Amino acid sequence: MTSDSLGTWPRRRAVKSADHPAILFRDHATSYAELAARVDRLAAALQARGVGFGDRVAYLGNNHPSFVETLFASTLLGAVFVPLNTRLSIPELEYMLQDSEAMLLVSGSELEPTASAAAGSGIRRIVIDDPDPEDPVSIADDTEDYEQLIRDAPAAPRPATVTLEDRALIIYTSGTTGRPKGAVLTHGNLTWNAINVLVDYDLTSADRSLMISPLFHVAALGMGCLPVILKGATLLLEERFVSGDALRSIERLRATTVSGVPTTFQLIMDDPAWTSTDISSLRLLTCGGSPVPDRVRAAYEARGLSFSGGYGMTEASPGVTMLPPKYSQQRGASAGLAHFFTEFRIRGADGRVLGPHERGEIETAGANVFLEYWENAPATAEAFTDDRWLRTGDVGYVDDDGFLYIVDRSKDMIISGGENVYSAEVEQAIAAIPGVTGVAVIGVPHERWGEVPHAVITLAPGQSLDPGEMVAHLSSRLARYKVPKTIEIVDELPRTASGKVRKAVLRERYDSESEA
């Protein structure tokens, strides 16, 4: 019996690289042989608790080896792994757990109160009891201890036959209609995306890849973690991003690659230890989410390093294009070339495929492009063209050499510190506040985060809005990075004849007022 499951990767890699370190976390190294053994035991334990083919297993926690183990153990059984964003509010997490119909939630003890509230009583829970000695957390009696569960489990689960076309992950992406959608990625999607990374970034088994981004993000998982395991390299796993810690890890652990978003790289270069830290081991910096600011690019180039940027999205697992480092100076504004086994094209509003320098919507195709939105057939149909190319909603063009340039992105999306914020979701929450008659949320520039949400609001006659109360209202419903940092009360919003808010006018007005 054969299987194409991601969950077989630790077993396969252990045969070739048994003693090589797979994960280094808090100075503890887990070899590939140890990783494979722990994944097998965890899979057996999950199976004994009823997890089988197609069931959903959710994970909520900071970066930890258990994330990797739960991913591989779940997919080894043919179950579907559902990583959850630790920055989301309890109502947001509760919605995702209910929407995915997760039967089991694995969570870190640092998020125990949140996990308990979001899961309620209908989801079986396993907790990684790894508390901070300075801030211990009380663990509920109805949960199971992750390490004890692995210790007590049989050595191997009953195998499942999994194909590349089977579902592997559901990753929730903020929805333009106010509700997040679960993008379903198959075993094939993630396998081919990892192969693209190996081909285009020349990752080797000798690489030591520092992971400073949260693994629940598809970029960290798809472009960082999975290719490292596939190749047999070493994942240097940071629990959370702290600029000084990242610099110390680069120097002490001799990291060769780092991936992140522009904000993380800016915080690293602004850290007091930047100039005194030995970063000579680094050979590759990969960055996504938004263009690298010139100041940041120049600071790293002054130390002999170039960025490899790129363009992607959750629905592409996530890689669509990459910019080779050798082009970072002369083509720094470009998102790069298509990944090896991925294609993109530019299409006009009339459906015509456009030529060089013609602007239109970016569409992409390849084995890395997702299967569907979880139980959302209308959204899935809308996402694809008749010939099964993925509509990105982003506007761009290619030059004569095939390099992609992003002109604009989906107008309703704001990228704040590498996090996607869809304005419709924030607007829906603000509209529920008594007295609000209209609202539009746009992205405005921010020195550290790239851009942040700005809310333009109209109120009913005689009504007022207390900013502190509004923030408190939103903070209980949305992740903090989605809460507008500034608000503006206006008499009326600019609208089209059909009543739709003209956000382009608001952006132009904001730019003009900022310049003034």
User: Could you give the domains of the chain?
Assistant: 10-15+36-162 (3.40.50.980), 413-515 (3.30.300.30)
**Quick check: 39 and 8 in contact, CB under 8 A?**
no
- Taking residues 286-303, report their average pLDDT: 87
pLDDT value of position 349: 86
Asked if 243 contacts 267 with a C-beta cutoff of 8 angstroms, the reply is: yes
pLDDT at 512: 66
What pLDDT, on the 0 to 100 scale, is given for residue 510?
79
Instruction: Mean pLDDT check: name the lowest of 119-123, 200-204, 398-402, 507-511.
Output: 507-511
Residue 235 has pLDDT above 70, yes or no: yes
Q: Who wins on pLDDT, 501 or 387?
A: 387
Mean pLDDT, range 456-461, rounded to an integer = 90
* Neighbouring-strand partners of residue 345: 363
Q: What letters, b where the CB count within 10 A reaches 16 and e where it falls short, cover 410-435?
A: bebbbbbbbbbbbbbbbbbbbeebee
Q: Which amino acid is at 317?
A: S
User: What is the arithmetic mean of pLDDT over 338-349?
Assistant: 96
pTM for the whole structure: 0.87
Structure-token pair, residue 2: 């054969």
Q: Is 120 exposed, middle or buried (0-12, 13-18, 19+ CB in 10 A)?
A: exposed
| 104 pLDDT higher than 60 | yes
**Helix H or strand E segment including 345:** strand 342-347
CA 387 – CA 49 distance, rounded (Å):
42
Average pLDDT, rounded, for the chain: 91
Locate 512 and state its tokens: 């003009």
Q: Which of 80-94, 199-213, 221-235, 409-423 has the lowest mean pLDDT?
A: 409-423
**Average of per-residue pLDDT across 106-112:** 95
Burial of 198 per CB tally in 10 Å (0-12, 13-18, 19+):
middle
Residue 65 predicted with pLDDT over 70? yes
- Residue 28 pLDDT > 70: yes
156 token code pair: 């191997």
Segment 446-458 shows an average pLDDT of 91
**303 within 8 A of 276, measured Cβ to Cβ:** no
Q: What is the per-residue pLDDT for 409?
A: 66
Give the helix/strand (H/E) hosting 394. Answer: strand 390-398
Is residue 21 very low, low, confident or very high in pLDDT (cuts 50, 70, 90)? very high
Residue 79 neighbours by CB distance under 10 Å: 28
What stretches of 203-283 show up as alpha helix (H) in DSSP? 218-219, 226-231, 243-253, 262-270
Helices (H), 154-242: 187-201, 218-219, 226-231
- Percent of the chain, pLDDT > 90? 72
pLDDT of the residue at 495: 80
Rg (CA), the chain: 23
Q: What is the pLDDT of residues 79-96, one digit of tens each?
A: 999 999 999 999 999 999
Q: What is the pLDDT of residue 262?
A: 86
Q: Which is higher by pLDDT, 4 or 435?
A: 4
Helices (H) and strands (E) counted in the chain, each on its own, are 16, 27
Q: How far are the Cα atoms of 11, 250, 257, 326, 491 from residue 305, in angstroms, in the given order?
A: 35, 14, 11, 10, 50
pLDDT at 516: 45
User: Phi/psi of residue 506, each to 5°?
Assistant: -65, -40
The pLDDT of 435-457, averaged and rounded, is 90
